[in-house]
Structures are given as structure tokens and as C-alpha cells.
């Protein structure tokens, strides 16, 4: 892997190195845990997505790309799956830092969802690799402005912008400050929305970024899986909505709201109030 990264020049190295730290977080649609199994036909998009994620985390990038291809075959209208395929193809490539098939996948993702964070990130990487560092930084800054405060990839995205700016003698400090200052702050009522405890936050802050990612993904996946069996847990649904919003997955937050409302019609007012506080349209 280091040899491959060494062949990327200038800002491209900084961009790809940063995404390694956030791999699997941006735009990932969390689902319940599934065991790794031998490939078989007729499986769902969710099944192949989980296979792709597992293989990606094991650094079997070509195999992960194959799994994501099957996922997009099963669900060709999912921006998340297309951007996941693109990322796997990028990581599987030993010579070309942006293979044509990966670029095509990112473009399909952005056509389906113009706010898909992973596709936006890598399409900016493509501009950086082409030498258009200013446009790449502008796109990353726009993504940063849309990134929920405290999202898992926020720190690495800022680092990418800083490194590419420094390598190419571009002043970005004030632009980062502007991008983050323009984001709406969480409303005071957020304090009443279920979330992680102070002990959990303290424990998470002591972990390495990759461990924090694994912890967050595992917790949210387990919560989503539990709610399938315990749909009457209103606080659990609100916590799941908050988790998805924090990760920048607005569609999944809205889906969680819909599921919560369907399972708990008598709690409609409470759920809708929580959704409004979290910025989820309803």
C-alpha cells in the first residue's frame, strides 16, 4: 500500500492518506451485522454491502469491489453503494489513483444524490490529482460546510484541506474557519435527545481513529438491529435518528423516523418533535 501511495504526487497523496483514516465512515449505510459467507447468487443489496464492508476493512479491496458491484446490481439506485464501489476500486488500484471505473461509480452516486459525502470527497480528489488544487479545496470546503459538527470524518477532512493547501502554497485557514462557522449549531433542545453518556464519550476519545470508527459503527448497527426486534423503544429510535444525523446520513435518519412512527403511532408528537430538533423533515 505504501508503494502505491508513494506514486501519488502532491495533494493527491494528502487526500488519499486522509481518506484512509476515515475509510468506511463517509456515507456508509449501516445495517445489522452479518457473517462473512461464500459468495452466492440471489442475495440482497444489504448482504453484499456487508460483505463489501468486511472485505474492505480486511484490506481485500478487489474482493470488496466485487461485493459492491453485486450490491449495485441488486440496488442500482443507491448512491451509497455506488460511492462505496468507487472507493473500493480506488483502493484496489495499484497504479492509477483514480481508475475510470471508480470515477464512473462516483459520478453515478452524485447523480443519484448530489450530497453523497464520499462521492463529493473523491470527485474533489480527482480534481486534485488533475492539478486543479484550488477547485479541489473549494469542493472539500463545501463538503465541510455541509458536514454536521462532530461528524467522524470532520477532523480528517480538515486535515486534507490543510495538507493540500500547505503543499500547494494555498491559504486555507480562514476559509476553513468560514466553512465551519457557517454551519448551524445544534439547538439547545438537543440536550434532551438521547445520546452517548459522558463515560462513553470519554472512552471513545481515548481510542485511535480506526477504533473509534469500529466502535461507532458497531454501536449504531447493534441499535438498528435491536430496534427491528424491539420497535416499541421510542428512545432507541430517537437515539438512532440522532446517530444517523451525526454521521450525515439524512436519508437513513428519515427512514428511522418513518419506521418509528409506523411502530409507535401514539408517540407521533414526541417523535416528530425530536425529529424537528434534529433537523429531520417530517
Give the least confident one: 16-30, 60-74, 153-167, 237-251. 16-30
pLDDT of residue 104: 97
Give the least confident one: 48-57, 125-134, 186-195. 186-195
CB 165 within 8 A of CB 137: yes
Calculate the alpha carbon distances from 246 to 92, 164, 178, 217, 277 in Å: 29, 26, 20, 12, 13
pLDDT of residue 191: 42
Which distant-in-sequence residues (6+ apart) come within 8 Å of 35 by Cβ?
none
Share of the chain above pLDDT 90, in %: 34
pLDDT-derived band of residue 165, with 50, 70 and 90 as boundaries? very high
Average pLDDT of span 36-62: 74
What value, to the nearest 5°, has the Cα angle with vertex 48 and ends 46 and 52? 115
| 3-state secondary structure (DSSP) of residue 184 | coil
CB 43 within 8 A of CB 74: yes
pTM: 0.61
pLDDT-derived band of residue 82, with 50, 70 and 90 as boundaries? very high
Instruction: State yes or no: pLDDT of 190 exceeds 90.
Output: no
pLDDT of residue 48: 87
pLDDT of residue 182: 72
Question: What distance in Å separates the CA atoms of residue 79 and residue 126, rounded to the nearest whole number?
Answer: 18
Question: What distance in Å separates the CA atoms of residue 251 and residue 237, rounded to the nearest whole number?
Answer: 14
Chain centroid, CA 55 distance in Å: 17
All structural domains of the chain = 2-181 (1.25.40.10), 188-278 (1.25.40)
pLDDT of residue 32: 33
Higher pLDDT, 78 or 33: 78
CB 231 within 8 A of CB 265: no
pLDDT-derived band of residue 1, with 50, 70 and 90 as boundaries? very low
Give the least confident one: 36-50, 72-86, 245-259. 36-50
Amino acid at each position: 500500500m505504501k508503494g502505491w501511495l508513494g506514486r501519488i504526487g502532491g495533494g493527491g497523496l494528502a487526500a488519499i492518506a486522509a481518506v484512509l483514516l476515515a475509510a468506511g465512515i463517509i456515507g456508509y449505510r449501516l445495517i445489522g451485522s452479518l457473517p462473512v459467507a461464500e459468495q452466492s447468487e440471489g442475495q440482497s443489496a444489504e448482504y453484499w454491502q456487508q460483505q463489501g464492508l468486511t472485505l474492505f476493512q480486511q484490506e481485500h479491496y478487489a474482493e470488496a469491489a466485487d461485493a459492491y458491484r453485486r450490491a449495485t446490481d441488486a440496488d442500482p439506485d443507491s448512491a451509497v453503494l455506488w460511492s462505496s464501489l468507487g472507493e473500493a476500486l480506488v483502493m484496489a488500484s495499484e497504479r492509477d489513483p483514480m481508475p475510470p471505473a471508480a470515477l464512473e461509480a462516483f459520478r453515478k452516486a452524485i447523480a443519484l444524490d448530489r450530497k453523497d459525502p464520499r462521492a463529493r470527497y473523491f470527485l474533489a480528489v480527482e480534481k486534485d490529482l488533475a492539478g486543479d488544487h484550488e477547485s479541489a479545496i473549494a469542493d472539500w470546503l463545501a463538503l465541510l460546510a455541509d458536514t454536521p459538527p462532530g461528524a467522524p470524518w470532520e477532523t480528517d477532512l480538515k486535515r486534507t484541506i490543510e495538507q493540500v493547501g500547505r503543499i500547494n502554497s494555498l491559504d486555507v485557514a480562514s476559509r476553513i474557519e468560514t466553512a465551519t462557522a457557517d454551519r448551524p449549531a445544534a439547538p439547545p433542545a438537543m440536550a434532551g435527545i438521547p445520546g452517548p453518556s459522558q463515560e462513553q464519550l470519554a472512552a471513545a476519545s481515548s481510542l485511535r481513529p480506526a477504533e473509534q470508527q469500529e466502535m461507532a459503527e458497531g454501536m449504531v448497527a447493534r441499535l438498528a438491529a435491536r430496534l427491528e426486534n424491539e420497535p416499541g423503544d421510542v428512545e432507541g429510535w430517537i437515539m438512532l435518528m440522532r446517530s444517523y444525523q451525526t454521521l450525515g446520513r439524512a436519508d437513513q435518519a428519515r427512514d428511522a423516523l418513518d419506521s418509528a412512527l409506523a411502530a409507535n403511532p401514539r408517540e407521533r408528537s414526541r417523535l416528530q418533535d425530536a425529529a424537528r430538533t434534529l433537523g429531520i423533515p417530517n
